[in-house]
Chain A
């Protein structure tokens, strides 16, 4: 190999071609392995089936999170090894795929079954792999669905269904997702986990120094599970700054071009510094103003369809939507959504808030 040959090998043009041909590789590397698995299957299925690269299969395509050779069956079947399966060049139909959690290589086992019952029996009974995370892509009868079994086909009642034909995400879809993640993983000290908890000392209202990054981490994982067929990106840089979270979808005819559905700018509102000193309200108001401007300018620069300023209020008394009083007029004229969630510093306060909500509902119904 000559010097010129090596230079050509790593030229900008050659690197760009690699980027375009492999777009989406390792984009989920920081997500939990099982989430990475199901999202990898979704991305691969869209490459193969959504634009008709591969015709709909008369049987579902089954993926098992099992990065080893298939077990030996009583009646031997053919297998095929598929390196770089994620590039979408391998025909998937009529196979049971044994893949790694990144879905970058796999072994396909010939599928001779003619119905779902036979397929389930193959995995559960003959191979005894019914406890493995499994994902089924179903393209029959005009459908394009992904059924995910996080605890395997043995517990089929835990199935999670994703419509892979879905092409749009609205701000209200994202709000619903964030609200669900908030209720599960953020709302109270007990709902938070050790590694991503926002409180240094909840009882003293002292937030972690990197509370915002911790919220971002929780939301990224949660959105990844909620929007299985879409890409969740964080910390994207442009000339106006660095955005927090973005939901996008690659175009199937050119995966390196994307539709950017939603941009989220995150702010944590605090009562105290990490050391316990009072955090001035003017700093919180400045954070709101900064966040609003960021949500607008990042959206416009990146041609994102919609944006929202998401605030997580760690103060003792929740401000609610009234906390947006200083920015709501500009937000309305700029088309930026304003969303607020309260991170209760005691479980008791959170419980009390639920009771108060119930009382309001009863009053309204009366």
Chain B
């Protein structure tokens, strides 16, 4: 596999959380700070750093970029299969973890299929993240606990209803994930 840029990992994580209710699995993080760029998940970044330390992730193309508050580390990561396979076996043996892995896999396939140069744009087009009523530097809630659901979950629910009404098909969570991400394609742009 290609080494995966760190932003792409965070995009994958964002959508895995956004789709968690569709797949009926727990989200890693339900609240995300809306910025003008790809949202960074601190817990995920800590986990990536630990996996690098343990030799399961191999970093390449390491670089720094200036930010308004300092500097940001960027890298691409690939999996050290020899070590990771043992961990993946444990994940596959647990029903809930396996479901989360399946969800993450389908998200990764979906966003990668749009083209590697568009991956970061998909978050910015997502129904929840692009909500114009939410200003930058406010929190995007992917799992509201007040009886509401996120705008991403709402769009998926309507996607399922449209498929049943117009095509007579009951879509699986995998299909919903693929269709939803494909739906974002026209609203993504290749960065100049």
Which residue numbers of A lie inside 8 Å of B, CB to CB?
1-3, 5-6, 9-10, 12, 14-16, 18-23, 25-27, 29-30, 67-69, 81, 83-86, 100, 102, 104-105, 233, 235-238, 242, 256, 302
Contact = CB atoms under 8 A, between A and B. Distances in A.
Contacts of B114: 83-84
A255 to B, nearest CB: 10
A26 B187 contact: no
Contacts of B168: 236, 238, 302
Interface of chain A, main secondary structure: mixed
A21 B172 CA distance: 17
A104 B113 contact: yes
B178 A26 contact: yes
B162 A67 contact: no
A235 B155 contact: no
B163 interface: yes
B interface, over-half SS: helix
B173 to A, nearest CB: 9
20 contacts: A5-B132, A6-B132, A9-B125, A10-B127, A15-B179, A16-B162, A18-B159, A19-B167, A22-B178, A25-B178, A27-B172, A67-B1, A68-B1, A68-B2, A100-B112, A105-B112, A105-B113, A233-B169, A256-B167, A302-B168
Interface in B169-186: 169-170, 172, 174-175, 177-179, 182-183, 185
A300 to B, nearest CB: 13
A353 B172 CA distance: 40
Contact of B177 (A9, A26, A30): A26
Given A3-B133, A6-B127, 7 more contacts: A6-B132, A15-B179, A18-B182, A23-B167, A25-B179, A26-B106, A26-B109
Contacts of B81: none
B130 interface: yes
Interface in B129-175: 130-133, 151, 155, 158-159, 162-164, 166-170, 172, 174-175
B70 interface: no
Interface string B15-27: 0000000000000
B115 interface: yes
B187 A19 contact: no
A19 B174 contact: no
Nearest to A3: B132
Contacts of B112: 100, 104-105
Contacts of A25: 175, 178-179, 182
Given A19-B162, A68-B2, A237-B164, A1 B132 contact: yes
Nearest to A256: B167
Interface centre among A9, A19, A21, A86, by most chain B C-beta atoms within 10 angstroms, is A19
Size category of the binding interface on chain B: 35 or more
Nearest to A102: B109
A233 B3 CA distance: 34
B155 A10 contact: yes
B175 A27 contact: yes
A15 B174 contact: no
A26 B172 contact: yes
A233 B127 CA distance: 29
Contacts of B166: 16, 19
Contacts of A27: 172, 175
A18 B177 contact: no
Nearest to A260: B168
A129 to B, nearest CB: 15
Interface in B98-131: 102, 106, 109-110, 112-116, 118, 125, 127, 130-131
A19 B2 contact: no
A6 B179 contact: no
Contact of A6 (B131, B163, B167, B175): B131
Given A10-B127, A84-B182, A104-B113, A236 B158 contact: no
B37 to A, nearest CB: 16
A27 B151 CA distance: 24
Contacts of B125: 9
B109 A22 contact: no
Contact of A86 (B113, B164, B170, B175): B113
B167 A29 contact: no
